[in-house]
Amino acid sequence: MAGLQHYRMAMDPAIQKLGTMTTNRHKYFRWTPRSAGLTFVYAIAVPFVVGVIAYQTDGKYEFRAKRKGDLISEY
């Protein structure tokens, strides 16, 4: 038992392949209709919707100095 190296593990080929694929993903990226649509949704549509909601509710809610039974909406 003293001569065995228990700290060494056999490398799993699937894990090595996943690591290589993750590292080189930018080399093989292509714009497809799906990737373009997802990029539009996450880069433009979601921030726009969040901004519109934030602009419409700006100053509407006040959370400071409220007691039990008080409304948080100011108008």
pLDDT 10s digits, 32-64: 999 999 999 999 999 999 999 999 988 888 878
Residues 63, 74: contact at Cβ < 8 Å? no
Predicted confidence at residue 33, as pLDDT, reads 97
